[in-house]
Structure 1
Amino acid sequence: MPGYELMGVEERESLNEIFETSNGVLFPHGFDALRNGRFRVREFEKAFSDKFSCKHTQAVTSGTVAQLVAMVAMGIKQGDEVITQAHTFVATVESILAIGAVPVIVDVDDTYNIDPIALENAITSKTKLIVPVHMLGNPASMDKILEIGKKYRIPVLEDGCEALGATYKGQNVGTLGDVGVFSLDFAKTITTGEGGLVITNNSYYYKIAKEFHDHGHESNPDFPRGRDTRSIVGMNYRMSEMQGAVGMAQLKKLDFIISKNREHKSFLKSNMDKSKIAFRNITDVEGDLGDTLIFNFENASLANQFLELYIASGYGTKNIPDAIDWHFSGKWNHMFANVTSYRDTWKTQWSKTAELLARSIAIPIYVKTIKEELEKHLDVINSIMAKI
């Protein structure tokens, strides 16, 4: 599942090198003589762009900030409506609120991602952005989403925070829409501890993102940094050289992580007792990240019976249902006091999504699991299925 499983020698050597060859310069700008020409955050950004076949990558401090920076770059302002989905991490909606925009949250379908029909029905004259979230490694239905965006001339910002490395019809998640964002926190596919990335092929969006995340610095080559030019108000969301160094080491492990995810998920999914369950609809089987196996029962009672026995056997779930409070908008009453449309309806607004999640189980897939452990896990799952 996450890059932290493989955190080790390579990451430590990358960090040590900052002190051995760059005199411990941790700031991503300046100090040229001390750092001996190494700019590790910039190196990480270039390596990521090359790996993902996109023109521009901007590293920032978190996936949450990545979305905020992306929305600023895309011109989203206070009062604009931004459509996203009910099953996502809380940060997706937090970012919308932080910018002063209005979250318009719609149900998911059997992909556990945004329902394109619900998306189109929610569009109004105030809709300025669509944010599909590729939840738990499964790409959203991007063909339909992009078609809707084009039809109404609304840009698409892909939230790929939980799907870094997944592809959709041969194209990297995050590169299909106008902008993509990723998280590099400690539970993600690759990690820098904390961190995020904004990727785009749009040079104007990149220009604004680059300036906004760095106090408005234009990085004008005609001036030293202390006299740098600026034209917009910015913030400080800069990634440090330590994160850049770790990111470079982790990026080299990405293909191995994805390969193992898919191998282990395939083994469990192919051999599970399927008589009482339905698997999540995967939009692109070859492109699925493979870090999560999601299935659902006919009703919540069966799901709860499975869960009780599964936990008693020493296993845990991933977000569904163990952290559902942070991944379903129907739990976020603290957010909606100032969102008029949901102030009185948040408990029932997303009943379709609530019903699906209530009868679902998400199982994490780990990179370092050995064959014997996988076989034992499978035996536990199938024995529970036989009991309920």
Structure 2
Amino acid sequence: MSLDKRLGQRFLPYGANYLDWSDMSELQYAIEQGVLFRYQTENESMASRLERRVGEELGAAHVLAVHNCTEALRLALVSTRPRAGDTVHIPAVTFVAVAGAVLATGLIPVPVDVDDHFALDTSLLPPDAQRVIVAHMEGAVSPLPDGVPYVIEDAAQALGASFPDGRRTGTRGYAGAFSFHHNKVLTSGEGGLLVTDDPAAWETMRCYHDHGSARQPGRYPTWNDDAYYGENFVTSEEVAAIQLQQFRHLDQVLGGLERHYGLALQELPDRPDIGLLPRSAGDAKISLRFRMESRELRDRAVARLTAQGIANWTLNKYLLPEHPVLKGRRSLYADGFPWNLAESHPRALSRDGFARTRDLLDRTLCVPLSPELAEAEQVVAAKGLRQALESL
């Protein structure tokens, strides 16, 4: 019998398992008020409540709720007032949305190779780098480069994680972007947050995300005298209400992940051909990351875990230099914009053409942890994983 059936457990990620109608007081209130647009009322909107709550939780001076993390990255880039065709250095291993956000802003993504833990290798950055996006992949806190004016943290998978100095991910760079996609620490299906301590940057972000003007609650629409064009990234009240419910469970989710991680460490098989990528104390421990001796062993592990109902995933699809958008410089514009502005820019930064990174990805396997399980159930899950790995 598969592990999910023995535990009566749905393989839903993290915050999704904490969605409960009886716990949805904010959503119920928003529905009862009949106001789902954040600027419709002069009272504090759900979106504003969410932003205030997030600022308090993360220690961020300014917070903006948007539709998704990709929009948050775009807003962060736009607020730097770039020139079309400027380069943005991004990790070579991350989700394609990072490159998409750069391209949609009229800028050129330059993949930078990663270290053994899939964090952007800051030693490869040129001394004149202006804009760098650092991704905290799999909840693992990545180091930030020094001396770069605009460091944007993609903390989509690392909500609640902390740097060694105690500051939360997303709050040390110029700006930080978070995701509430279904497969994230907390979820509203879709949704995003942007944080910054720069008041001028936040004002630009806030205006651009609603057609170029700063809105007055209860008096929509209004236009600034110095309005510029923008887009509509304004979140809705019902989505913000769900996110508020989720934020009440953030410490519970992170604590459950931490407990499951510790229990799993005690049960790992003693095999020299299966290693575990260590995690720092501040990581959001959303998964165990295994490094196998070979691609063949990794593939056997995938097959065995899948057959036994143990969720798992690999990371090969996140190698951006091999994604069609970057490899083929794909664009829907007739003139190839913005790639047509990139002739003099490097395609990627790597010492070996990403050979080492391909090998690491080929041998890496991730197994998610389940914070909602009781400790006894987490022990059962850890033992089931050990048995599956021992049987390879």
TM-score (norm: length of structure 1): 0.87
Give the share of equivalent positions with the same residue, in percent. Answer: 25
Give the match's secondary structure for 1:157: strand
State the Cα distance separating 1:372 from its structure 2 match.
4.5
Contact 2:277–2:290 at 8 Å: present in 1 too?
yes
State the Cα distance separating 1:273 from its structure 2 match.
1.1
Q: Which string of whole-angstrom CA distances, capped at 9 and with x for unpartnered residues, describes residues 283-337 of structure 1?
A: xx2211111110101221221122221112121214x25xx42x22144124432
- Backbone CA RMSD of aligned residues: 2.4
Q: In 2, distance between residues paired with 1:302 and 1:133?
A: 28
State the Cα distance separating 1:73 from its structure 2 match.
0.9
Aligned counterpart for 1:378 among listed residues 354, 368, 382: 382
Q: How does 1:203-352 map to 2 (within 5 A)?
A: 203-219=199-215, 224-229=219-224, 230-275=226-271, 276-282=273-279, 285-318=280-313, 320-321=314-315, 324-325=316-317, 327-338=318-329, 339=339, 349-352=353-356
Q: In 2, distance between residues paired with 1:203 and 1:248?
A: 24
Q: In 2, distance between residues paired with 1:237 and 1:19?
A: 21
Contact 1:107–1:352 at 8 Å: present in 2 too?
no
Match of 1:17 in 2: 29
Structure 2 unaligned blocks of 5 or more: 1-12, 330-338
Aligned counterpart for 1:361 among listed residues 362, 365, 386: 365
Q: In 1, distance between residues paired with 2:151 and 2:326?
A: 24
Are the structure 2 counterparts of residues 333 and 269 from structure 1 closer, same or farther at C-alpha, using a change threshold of 3 Å? same
Are the structure 2 counterparts of residues 372 and 51 from structure 1 closer, same or farther at C-alpha, using a change threshold of 3 Å? closer
Are the structure 2 counterparts of residues 337 and 43 from structure 1 closer, same or farther at C-alpha, using a change threshold of 3 Å? same
Give the match's secondary structure for 1:77: coil
Q: Which string of whole-angstrom CA distances, capped at 9 and with x for unpartnered residues, describes residues 88-125 of structure 1?
A: 1110111011111111101211222112223x2xx264
State the Cα distance separating 1:375 from its structure 2 match.
3.3
Aligned counterpart for 2:151 among listed residues 152, 156, 166: 156
Q: How does 1:89-100 map to 2 (within 5 A)?
A: 89-100=95-106
Q: How does 1:170-185 map to 2 (within 5 A)?
A: 170-185=166-181
Match of 2:334 in 1: none
Give the match's secondary structure for 1:219: coil
Are the structure 2 counterparts of residues 108 and 274 from structure 1 closer, same or farther at C-alpha, using a change threshold of 3 Å? farther
* AA matched with 2:135: V
State the Cα distance separating 1:224 from its structure 2 match.
4.3
Are the structure 2 counterparts of residues 292 and 77 from structure 1 closer, same or farther at C-alpha, using a change threshold of 3 Å? farther
* AA matched with 1:4: A
Q: How does 1:35-50 map to 2 (within 5 A)?
A: 37-50=43-56
Query: Are positions 1:30 and 2:40 aligned together?
Result: yes
Per residue, is there more helix in 1 or in 2? 1
State the Cα distance separating 1:138 from its structure 2 match.
0.5
Q: In 2, distance between residues paired with 1:69 and 1:11?
A: 32
State the Cα distance separating 1:274 from its structure 2 match.
3.8
Contact 1:306–1:385 at 8 Å: present in 2 too?
yes
Contact 2:38–2:235 at 8 Å: present in 1 too?
yes
Q: How does 1:103-182 map to 2 (within 5 A)?
A: 103-118=109-124, 120=125, 123=126, 125=128, 127-142=129-144, 145=145, 147=146, 150=147, 153-169=148-164, 170-182=166-178
Contact 1:309–1:384 at 8 Å: present in 2 too?
yes
Q: In 1, distance between residues paired with 2:22 and 2:228?
A: 39
Give the match's secondary structure for 1:226: coil
Paired positions, count = 363
Q: How does 1:50-89 map to 2 (within 5 A)?
A: 50-89=56-95
Q: In 2, distance between residues paired with 1:294 and 1:206?
A: 36
* AA matched with 1:26: L
State the Cα distance separating 1:345 from its structure 2 match.
11
State the Cα distance separating 1:85 from its structure 2 match.
0.8
Structure 1 unaligned blocks of 5 or more: none
